[in-house]
């Protein structure tokens, strides 16, 4: 197979990049729309519970989704989950403008979360099926660059649509984008995989066997779960409401655009990277997100907020590429669905709890919440890099012994 590039001879990578780009654009639209409706009614609790409901099914259903990814056609599973989510988003587009982020919106967000959690492992496991293993770092960067391009234009485009038309139009645009993403995934054809017809209960118990052969996951995945929970709660709930209250919605949109540009630049940098210490590098770059939290509470200058957001985007993008390559290079393809689901369930499973908890804090305590979150993330970074150096060194030693 040729090296992964957006070339007509590798159409599967093109369709995957298009699908993830449209999904990213829809996600950025949804984030801004929810923040808009939450801030318009000063409803921090409603915003937190809506985001929590959307992500809560991750812990419950994602592990089962990994088994589905390993047993059935990953293309169809991923596409169906995206299209079901589009249908639920249509319900949100009807309810939110009328009732805000009340229990009806939260219930629909919960249903959408179940669909996403079931299909996400299949979607994430597609990339190793369309490129060679030695091209995974570059392929991750290529696909993510499409997502990041969408993230660059997403906040500004959504804000412009909201100002020129209404945020109700933004909600319906989300539906259209998800339909396009689902149809794009359906265009990806995969070679048939030999799968033993084992019972689902046996497959569930098989997850423990996979983890026994990949003990390092028992630290790495929970580490990212806790790190992302704290960062998501602070950055997705407390920070936007604080910035909008202190400045304007346009300031928050500008920060999101700056971060999205950072994601795009980070994906371009990642194309050139050939790191040996993948996990350690992912922790180091991920820690750049602390800069945005610190800047938010310590500076009133827009340029400082923009630079910190830009650095956060670069860091998270390179971190994501390195973490994805860590999993995809160390785990056999036949187990990728289950490992992806374990990673997805734990890495994002704590996020809904964080959303609900951070939604309980009032704006008066936002400065303390953001500062405490930054210190907690700094402590986790020291731990992650320390353990990561040991894990990567052991991996490199084992590779040298085999050669």
pLDDT tens sequence across 131-148: 776 666 677 777 877 877
Q: Is residue 4 part of a domain?
A: no
Q: Is residue 22 part of a domain?
A: yes
Q: Is residue 340 part of a domain?
A: yes
CA–CA gap between residue 122 and residue 256 (Å, rounded): 28
80 Cβ contact list (under 8 Å, min separation 6):
119, 182
pLDDT at residue 60 tops 70: no
CA–CA gap between residue 18 and residue 98 (Å, rounded): 33
Q: What are phi and psi of 241, to 5 degrees?
A: -65, -40
Of the ranges 44-53, 64-73, 353-362, the best mean pLDDT one: 353-362
269 Cβ contact list (under 8 Å, min separation 6):
314, 318
133 Cβ contact list (under 8 Å, min separation 6):
328, 329
Of the ranges 39-43, 174-178, 183-187, 337-341, the best mean pLDDT one: 174-178
Using a 10 angstrom Cβ sphere, with 0-12 exposed, 13-18 middle and 19 or more buried, the burial of residue 258 is buried
pLDDT at residue 203 tops 90: no
CA–CA gap between residue 258 and residue 152 (Å, rounded): 7
**What is the per-residue burial (b if ≥16 Cβ within 10 Å, else e) of 99-138?**
ebbbebbbebbbbbbbbbbbbbbbbbbbbbbbbeeebbbb
CA proximity to 354, closest of 252, 221, 259, 225: 225
CA proximity to 325, closest of 173, 87, 148, 128: 128
Helix and strand element counts for the chain (H, E) = 18, 0
Q: 132: domain CATH number? A: 1.20.1250.20
Q: Is residue 85 part of a domain?
A: yes
CA–CA gap between residue 83 and residue 69 (Å, rounded): 17
> How wide is the angle at C-alpha 22 spanned by C-alphas 19 and 24, nearest 5°?
110
CA–CA gap between residue 293 and residue 281 (Å, rounded): 21
Q: What are the angstrom distances between the C-alpha of 40 and each of 35, 116, 129, 236, 386?
A: 8, 27, 44, 16, 44
The pLDDT of residue 400: 57
Contact criterion met (CB below 8 Å) for 159 and 249: yes
Q: Is residue 193 part of a domain?
A: no
Domain range for residue 111? 11-186+200-402
Give the chain's radius of gyration (CA, Å): 20
Compute how many other C-beta atoms are within 10 angstroms of the C-beta atom of residue 196: 8
How many C-alpha atoms does 3 have within 13 Å on its Cβ side? 5
Total domains in the fold of the chain: 1
Contact criterion met (CB below 8 Å) for 373 and 292: no
The pLDDT of residue 197: 43
pLDDT tens readout for residues 336-381: 666 776 777 777 778 888 888 898 888 888 999 999 999 999 999 9
Contact criterion met (CB below 8 Å) for 265 and 312: no
Q: Record the pTM.
A: 0.69
Contact criterion met (CB below 8 Å) for 39 and 150: no
Q: What are phi and psi of 271, to 5 degrees?
A: -60, -25
Q: Is residue 5 part of a domain?
A: no
Alpha helices in 167-288 (DSSP H): 167-185, 200-212, 217-233, 239-246, 249-270, 278-286
Contact criterion met (CB below 8 Å) for 77 and 134: no
Q: How confident is the model at residue 157 (pLDDT cuts 50, 70, 90)?
A: confident
CA proximity to 305, closest of 297, 295, 314, 313: 295
pLDDT at residue 20 tops 50: yes
Contact criterion met (CB below 8 Å) for 186 and 79: yes
């Amino acid at each position: 197979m040729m090296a992964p590039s957006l070339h007509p001879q590798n159409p599967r990578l093109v369709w995957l990049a298009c699908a993830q780009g449209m999904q990213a654009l829809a996600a950025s639209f949804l984030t801004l729309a929810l923040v808009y409706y939450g801030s318009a009614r000063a409803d921090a609790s409603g915003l937190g519970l809506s985001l929590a409901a959307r992500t809560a099914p991750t812990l419950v259903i994602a592990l089962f989704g990994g088994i589905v990814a390993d047993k059935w056609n990953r293309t169809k599973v991923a596409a169906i989950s995206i299209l079901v989510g589009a249908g639920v988003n249509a319900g949100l587009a009807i309810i939110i403008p009328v009732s805000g982020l009340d229990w009806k919106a939260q219930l629909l967000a919960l249903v959408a979360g179940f669909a996403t959690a079931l299909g996400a492992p299949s979607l994430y496991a597609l990339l190793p099926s369309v490129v060679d293993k030695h091209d995974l770092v570059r392929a991750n960067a290529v696909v993510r660059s499409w997502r990041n391009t969408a993230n660059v234009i997403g906040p500004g485009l959504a804000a412009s649509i909201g100002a020129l038309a209404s945020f109700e139009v933004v909600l319906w645009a989300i539906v259209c984008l998800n339909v396009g993403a689902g149809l794009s995934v359906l265009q990806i054809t995969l070679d048939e995989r030999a799968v033993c017809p084992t019972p689902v209960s046996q497959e569930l118990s098989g997850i423990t066997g996979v983890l026994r052969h990949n003990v390092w996951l028992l630290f790495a995945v929970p580490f990212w779960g806790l790190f992302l929970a704290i960062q998501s709660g602070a950055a997705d709930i407390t920070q936007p409401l604080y910035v909008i209250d202190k400045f304007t919605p346009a300031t928050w949109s500008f920060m999101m655009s700056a971060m999205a540009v950072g994601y795009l630049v980070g994906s371009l940098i990642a194309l050139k990277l050939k790191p040996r210490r993948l996990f350690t590098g992912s922790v180091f770059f991920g820690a750049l997100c602390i800069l945005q939290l610190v800047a938010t509470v310590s500076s009133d200058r827009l340029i400082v907020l923009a630079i910190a957001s830009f650095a956060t985007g670069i860091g998270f993008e390179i971190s994501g590429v390195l973490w994805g390559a860590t999993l995809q290079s160390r785990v056999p393809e036949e187990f990728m669905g289950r490992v992806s689901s374990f990673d997805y369930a734990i890495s994002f499973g704590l996020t809904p709890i964080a959303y609900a908890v951070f939604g309980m804090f009032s704006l008066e305590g936002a400065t303390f919440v953001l500062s405490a979150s930054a210190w907690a993330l700094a402590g986790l970074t020291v731990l992650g890099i320390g353990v990561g150096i040991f894990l990567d060194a052991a991996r490199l030693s084992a590779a040298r012994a085999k050669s």
